[in-house]
Amino acid sequence: MSTLDYVIIALYFIGLLGVSFFVGRRIKSSEDMFLAGRNSSWWLSGISSYMTIFSAGTFVIWAGVAYKSGLVAVIISMCLGPASLIVGKWISGRWRRLGIKSPGEYLDVRFGRGCLNFYTISGMIGKTVTSAVALYSIAIMMYTVADGNLNLYLIILVLGLITAVYTMAGGFLAVLMTDVVQFGVLFSMILLMIPLSFHEVGGVSAFIEKASAIPGYFSGTSGTYTPLWLLLWLLLNTAMIGGDWPYVQRYVSVPTVKDSKKSTYLIGVMFLFSPVIFYLPAMIYRVLVPGPGMDVDPVAMNALGEGAYMSMSRTVLMTGMVGMMMAAMLSATLSLVSGAINVFANVFTLNIWGGRNKEASEKKRIRVGRVFTLVMGLVITGLAMLIPFAGGAEKVIVTILTMVICPLYIPSIWGLFSKRLNSTQLIAAMAVTWVFGFAAKFLVPAEILNPSLLESLCGFLVPSIALSCMEIYSALKGRECEGFRKIDAMVDADADREPGPGMKKAVKSFSFLAFNFFAVTLAAIAVLLTVLLAVREPKVMEVKGIVLGFIAAVLSIIAIYIAYRVIDHRKTFNTQE
């Protein structure tokens, strides 16, 4: 990368920290710190949830699948669309209807303190390790792009500290706002890369012609990713989007049930269309650099696939824009990490520490939440630094933790609907799932059952069957759980009502603030491209028409937003008169 690329990355993260400290001034209570005062608009919550799904694995693992196997990677990602629509129809609104401030409060009331501790310990271990691996993976990517000119441990330390500091300073509102900035950078860069990538291979028709010659490249399934695997993947992601704590936090941060549903529908619609856009550069790179083929040298193909996205970026993007793309990839991973840190700070402050300090002032709660945020961020950073000493064991650990953590989403959702499931049954169901899963993982040969399919079967079917058996047993015994009656009594009466003028004003204020950051982000990219045009940067001049079209599109979006703000201001002024 050039000096300008490093400057762009530095300015980008300075901007993220600036956003965090700016919005941090609005925090006056623990509800502001962890739920943005329930004033998040539905689209803001939806975009933040969408960005939380991205991580280094998106750019390395799944982009690698796109490079090697083609369209099936798009289909895999698109499965999150119907999964989100299912959650929007039946689950996310149910979360918002509860009068809870955190997922931990739900577990405490519905299943008891023991279950809360069980979930918190299990989830925190899993999220801390997986976040550390994600942080390490994206640091390795930057280290590689920098051709080894940067110290790997320094990269990890800087990225970890930036994430901890902006999450600590601005709380959940900073997470929401920085997610919007990250969304703007990521998708503007991808939309710029697509026409540049097509130009590099001779156009759309040339890409289709060459890619069609690769066996199965435009097939929706493969030997590894079979229709059954895709179905289980869809169901697992339904459980994740419906029950994982960072998503639940976003469902309860909006004013009404209707807003919660709309935010989840937005995730679904975006995942029905965006995967095609997102994975095209990696697929085009396969045509540009075919490699030896999976049947000839799978190791070489895996290496090419894992680096496909960044390699395509370096091939087609101009000076400065490579840094912007690197910043987008880095920040997408940081979004996942910051979301995990904030939601566990939420549960710890309001339910673990807060359960023993119920008389604590709001100022004290905010301070405790910020300290926990910083500590968890430092722990994740420290673990990420230790990963090079794991000798590749981190991949096995993540696989095991995936089998441990993913099944936990299912009983928490089950408890929203079942009046019979109790804490003992929940923990027993998880024990059965884990014992069966670990036994199958180490005893069933890959030749008999594909490992990916095995993990999906253990992650979804086993806990579902165990919970179903316990549900039937409790029904036959006529047993009901007292926790369900308690949680049923916690319904928020305001969740189904139209928000009052004060809340509408606050939601509107947050929406405008988010779009202000979004517009400034797009403007910065347009300015950088304009400067590169002015100095006649070689790569820019080769694709001058594409660059000018992109700048025009960005300016049009900004102009439409400014016009809307002017109209809205006049309307508000006339109403006040």
- Tell me if 323 sits within 8 A of 6, measured CB to CB: yes
Q: Measured between alpha carbons, how far is 576 from 568 in angstroms, rounded to an integer?
A: 12
Q: 28 pLDDT band (50/70/90 cuts)?
A: confident
Q: Measured between alpha carbons, how far is 409 from 413 in angstroms, rounded to an integer?
A: 7
Q: Measured between alpha carbons, how far is 156 from 423 in angstroms, rounded to an integer?
A: 39
CB atoms within 10 A of CB 429: 24
Q: CA 496: distance to chain centroid?
A: 28
Q: 335 pLDDT band (50/70/90 cuts)?
A: confident
Model confidence at 216: pLDDT above 60: yes
Taking residues 300-319, report their average pLDDT: 88
- Tell me if 341 sits within 8 A of 167, measured CB to CB: yes
Q: 402 pLDDT band (50/70/90 cuts)?
A: low
User: b/e map of 302-340 (b: 16 or more CB within 10 Å)?
Assistant: bebbbbbbbbbbebbbbbbbbbbbbbbbbbbbbbbbbbb
Stated pTM of the model: 0.92
Q: DSSP for 202-258?
A: T-HHHHHHHHHTSTTTT-S--SSS-HHHHHHHHHHHHHHHHH-HHHHHHHTTSSSHH
- Range in 134-143, 167-176, 309-318, 514-523 with the lowest mean pLDDT: 134-143
Q: Which residues pair with 487 in a beta bridge?
A: none
Q: Measured between alpha carbons, how far is 22 from 52 in angstroms, rounded to an integer?
A: 22
Q: CA torsion sign, 219 to 223 to 225 to 226?
A: positive
pLDDT score recorded for residue 400:
63
Q: Measured between alpha carbons, how far is 104 from 343 in angstroms, rounded to an integer?
A: 9
Taking residues 195-209, report their average pLDDT: 94
Q: 437 pLDDT band (50/70/90 cuts)?
A: confident
Q: Measured between alpha carbons, how far is 65 from 320 in angstroms, rounded to an integer?
A: 28
Q: 110 pLDDT band (50/70/90 cuts)?
A: very high
Q: What digits encode the pLDDT tens for the residues 243-271?
A: 998 999 999 999 999 999 999 999 999 99
Q: What digits encode the pLDDT tens for the residues 65-101?
A: 899 999 999 999 999 999 999 999 999 999 999 989 8
Model confidence at 574: pLDDT above 60: yes
pLDDT score recorded for residue 306:
82
